[in-house]
Amino acid sequence: MSASAPAAAASETDLLALLQGAFPAAATRPTGDHPAFKLPVADVPAALKLLRDQQGFDFLTDVTAVDWDVEASPRFSVVWHLHSTTHHGYVRIVADCLSDTEPSAPSVVGLWAGANWHERETFDLMGIRFTDHPDLRRILMWDGYPFHPLRKDFPLAGIETPLPDVEVSEITGATVKPAPMMGGPFVASTGEMNLTEAEPRAKDESWNERSEKPAAL
């Protein structure tokens, strides 16, 4: 970050003017909280560098991605969240991936070393390939896991695959099996004063192991 970082967060209009000066395709994006901008994916590293060095956004809060829908095109968007430790402003940059089947985005590990694990997680769960990443391996699921679990076409219960260790799979006969989903996802109730009622449970008790899930659901 440079010494010329502003003392206060720039307004959305000023940021847009700055970005459009360097990247004419930059546009604002509907947002519920902080300024958000849409950029062509190839311009993102340069834009993030501009925001970091000229606008004091020196902290990369998060790198993540959105899978809009299996049928949607563009299907995947990558999202970068920046924060400023000097003026405490936030900004969000979003870029659509060019390919719907082999989505990729440029890595920003060169700008923030901390992007490394964020990008590995985004690759692991969403299947976004970050070009020029120094070590793009899975970080949560094991090496060799064939799916990207947070994609829309992946069921929450999972898909049957072998265990990570073939030998243990042979000894135990265990595999990665779809989790039982009777009664729907197993979730806690928030804002419940009675802790017994707040315990995680299936929300729809009309179907379970014995009675089939209604086709309408």
Binding site residues, other proteins, CB under 8 A:
140-142, 149, 154-159, 163-165, 167-169, 171-172, 174, 176-181, 185-188, 199-200
Shortest distance, CB of residue 149 to other proteins, whole angstroms? 5
Closer residue to other proteins, CB minimum distance, 40 or 158 = 158
CA dist 127 and 53 (Å) reads: 30
Closer residue to other proteins, CB minimum distance, 17 or 159 = 159
Shortest distance, CB of residue 105 to other proteins, whole angstroms? 24
* Cβ partners under 8 Å of residue 105, min gap 6: 41, 44, 78, 95, 97, 128, 129, 130, 131
Shortest distance, CB of residue 216 to other proteins, whole angstroms? 21
Shortest distance, CB of residue 85 to other proteins, whole angstroms? 32
How many other CB atoms sit within 10 Å of the CB of residue 191? 5
How many other CB atoms sit within 10 Å of the CB of residue 103? 24
CA dist 127 and 97 (Å) reads: 11
Amino acid letter, residue 135: D
Closer residue to other proteins, CB minimum distance, 8 or 168 = 168
**What's the farthest any 2 CA atoms get from each other in the chain?**
67
Tokens encoding 58: 């020196």
Closer residue to other proteins, CB minimum distance, 69 or 167 = 167
Tokens encoding 43: 């311009």
Shortest distance, CB of residue 75 to other proteins, whole angstroms? 20
Shortest distance, CB of residue 73 to other proteins, whole angstroms? 26
> Do 68 and 75 touch, CB atoms closer than 8 A?
yes
Closer residue to other proteins, CB minimum distance, 7 or 171 = 171
Closest CA to 51 of 95, 81, 96: 81
Edge to edge, what strands does the sheet with 59-67 contain?
A: 27-28, 36-38, 90-96, 76-83, 59-67
Closer residue to other proteins, CB minimum distance, 4 or 196 = 196
